[in-house]
Amino acid sequence: MNLMWRYAKKYKNYIFLNFLCVFSFILIELGLPTLLARIIDKGLVPKDFEVVKTTSVWMLAVCFAGLIGLILLAFCGSKISTSVIRDMRDDVFAKIQEFSHEEYDDFGISYLITATTNDAFQVMTFMQMMLRMGMVTPLMFIASFVMIIYKSPSLSVSVILAVPFLLMGVILIGKFSAPLSEAQQKGLDNINTNLRENLTGLRVIRAFINEKFQEGRFEKINKIYSETSKKLFKLMAVPQPGFSFIFNIILAIVIWFGASQINLGQLQVGELVAFIEYIFHALFSFMLFATVFMMYPRAAVSAHRIERILERVPRVTENINGITESKTHGYITFENVTFAYPGNSDEPILRDVSFSAKPGETVAFIGSTGSGKSTLIQLIPRFYDVTKGRIIIDGEDIRDYNLSFLRQKIGFIPQKALLFTGTISENIRYGKHDATQEEIESASKTAQAFDFINQKPDKFNEFLAEGGSNMSGGQKQRLSIARAIVKKPDIYIFDDSFSALDYQTDVKLRTALNSITKESTVLIVAQRVSTIMNADKILVLNEGNVVAEGTHRELLKTCDIYYDIASSQLTKEELE
Ligand SMILES: Nc1ncnc2c1ncn2[C@@H]1O[C@H](COP(=O)(O)OP(=O)(O)OP(=O)(O)O)[C@@H](O)[C@H]1O
């Protein structure tokens, strides 16, 4: 509720108009039964058709005013709720952009997608209901109740007696629906996770003929979701027949006692009709309010999930007032860096890592899978922060830099080349938004991408499908390398970024890179010894420790692990 109100405040004028419409709508709705009673008692019974005519005209006018009120009410409700959700979604999206990888790992991608789509939709639907019915119904109920007591205190007893039962029913349903709503949203998260995995891993699933297995997994998750939804919908279906039942009992009692009061001359027929109308309004309002109330737990769960995102303080922040200047360009020092993934502080992935690199130097990292190579280089752009020790770039602790300035120094080429929907040009320009066509072409030449781009029907305007799925693995890698090159960074970080290239292209690319990285610092993570054998320095990692450091030749002699890796990939001659 707090979250909704915080956002709705911005649309105060519409809320005020909404409230005015609610108020006038209630006056109109409650005025109609009184006019009806007048038609019956003062017009139809004494056969005074002049009264019937004039009161009917009044009724028409009141109905028309009510219609305008309803239209305005719908307009205000839609305007406020859609605007609020648009703002909320924008903020959630902006917040997600600020998150470090720790927060992504913590929430999970599916949670973030469900919150931005389905949760936002639930909140919007509830707000719309709230603005239309949530405001009208309590006021209508109270006003009708006052009219019921005012018109006939003796007949109103049956209505008063029914109220505690109605209240209890609503509270009980609200109580039971809250955990079910939460379970339903979690179920939807699971469906999203499963679907994402299934769609992105389609090729693997087919290659391993695991379609049936996947179907089974999906069926299981889908069943849990549908069972929870079924229970929730069943619960939400209870009030309508319940209220109709109570309404009919009250109606029977009122007609029974009302008829005898008419017989005794204590009540007029029109008054009884108006009284029944008021009961209908009161109970119908109560029922509608109960519907809104029952939607509340679901909306509250969704709002809470959105709030968790909005209130999360990212571990790595932009550091707006951080350093935005440096005298040198590309000096890196790791000082006793220890790192454990958040939530796993007992098990550091990196222990006491120290090394340095300077402009014009290429430093490579090699080691068995899971030894911590990717983790190590992800600490440099602060995807995660070190647990102990520090990383110094150009004389300053990286945590003291303005984050954008720090990242501007770095050209990061991830292990898994990721491209965006758009043209090849747009994807390369992602590294430098104002890059000229000349710069783009030059970067693509260095990345050995120029030739294959020119073979595409639309060349640099060739459109890339979602995730660059219409490019081969090697083409994607070369485009993501070109994207980093066009940025002309001080520091290049290649996270096993040559793995999908054939040997010849790998050699050509590294030769071309040498000429443009003379003044830059290059860090390379690689599995292939041939990719890094010319590096100025190679660090061998084993279970998070740097076990050796040196050139290819030195390591062949001094480090058994390196020798084992090298001998499994190189010929005897190459090893000598
Ligand atoms: N986000 C994460 N949360 C928790 N643990 C992680 C996370 N990412 C990686 N790890 C763990 O950290 C360890 C090091 O992983 P890392 O990816 O750095 O290894 P690597 O040497 O680059 O391996 P590879 O050569 O296979 O890419 C592994 O045990 C891995 O399970």
Residues 63 and 135 in one domain: yes
Rounded to two decimals, the pTM is 0.73
**So what's the ipTM on this one?**
0.95
375 pLDDT above the threshold of 90? yes
Which of 279, 311, 343 is the last residue before a domain boundary?
A: 311
Decide if 527 is inside a domain.
yes
Do residues 391 and 379 touch, judged by C-beta distance below 8 A?
yes
Buried-exposed string 474-492: b where 16+ CB fall within 10 A, e elsewhere: bbbbbbbbbbbbbbbbbbb
Decide if 316 is inside a domain.
no
Q: Which pLDDT band, with edges at 50, 70 and 90, does 222 fall under? A: very high
Cα 117 to middle of ligand 1, angstroms: 30
Mean pLDDT of 537-544: 93
Decide if 317 is inside a domain.
no
Ligand 1, pocket residues at CB < 6 Å: 105, 341, 349, 367, 369-375
Residues 251 and 140 in one domain: yes
In 3D, which of 496, 531, 495, 502 has the Cα closest to residue 514? 531
Supply the range of the domain harboring residue 99: 2-311
pLDDT in tens, 481-494: 999 999 999 999 99
Decide if 318 is inside a domain.
no
Residue of the nearest CA to atom 16 in ligand 1? Answer: 372
Residues 23 and 98 in one domain: yes
Phi and psi, residue 523, nearest 5°: -115, 130
Cα 378 to middle of ligand 1, angstroms: 11
572 pLDDT above the threshold of 80? no
Q: Where are the beta strands (DSSP E) in 346-502?
A: 350-357, 362-367, 388-393, 396-397, 410-413, 422-423, 463-464, 491-495
Q: Which pLDDT band, with edges at 50, 70 and 90, does 451 fall under? A: very high
Mutate to test the pocket of ligand 1, among 374, 529, 540, 545 (most ligand atoms within 8 A of CB): 374
Q: Which pLDDT band, with edges at 50, 70 and 90, does 240 fall under? A: confident
Cα 100 to middle of ligand 1, angstroms: 16
Residues 298 and 331 in one domain: no
Cα 373 to middle of ligand 1, angstroms: 8
Mean pLDDT of 149-157: 83
Residues 467 and 549 in one domain: no
Residues 456 and 476 in one domain: yes
Residue of the nearest CA to atom 17 in ligand 1? Answer: 374
Strand 362-367 to strand 521-525: parallel, antiparallel, or no bridges (unpaired)? Answer: parallel
DSSP string spanning 144-206? HHHHHHHH-TTTTHHHHHHHHHHHHHHHHHHHHHHHHHHHHHHHHHHHHHHHHHHHHTHHHHH
Residues 476 and 498 in one domain: no
Residues 227 and 307 in one domain: yes
Residues 106 and 226 in one domain: yes
Cα 106 to middle of ligand 1, angstroms: 16
Residues 302 and 327 in one domain: no
378 pLDDT above the threshold of 90? yes
Alpha-helix runs per DSSP H in 210-268:
211-237, 239-263
Which of 443, 473, 488 is the last residue before a domain boundary?
A: 488
**pLDDT on residue 158:** 80
pLDDT in tens, 302-339: 899 899 999 999 888 888 899 999 999 999 999 999 99
pLDDT in tens, 37-96: 888 888 888 888 888 888 899 888 888 888 888 888 889 988 999 999 999 999 999 999
**pLDDT on residue 307:** 93
**pLDDT on residue 536:** 94
Q: How far apart, in whole angstroms, are the C-alpha atoms of residue 275 and residue 251?
A: 10
Three-state DSSP class for residue 569: helix
432: CATH: 3.40.50.300
Indicate which atom in ligand 1 lies nearest the CA of residue 541: 21
**pLDDT on residue 524:** 94
**pLDDT on residue 319:** 86
Does 45 or 471 have the greater pLDDT score?
471
200 pLDDT above the threshold of 80? no
What is the tally of structural domains in the chain? Answer: 3
**pLDDT on residue 479:** 94
Residue of the nearest CA to atom 25 in ligand 1? Answer: 369
**pLDDT on residue 159:** 80
Q: Which pLDDT band, with edges at 50, 70 and 90, does 108 fall under? A: confident
Helix axes 473-485, 503-516, angle to 10 degrees: 0
| pLDDT cut 70: percent of the chain above it | 99
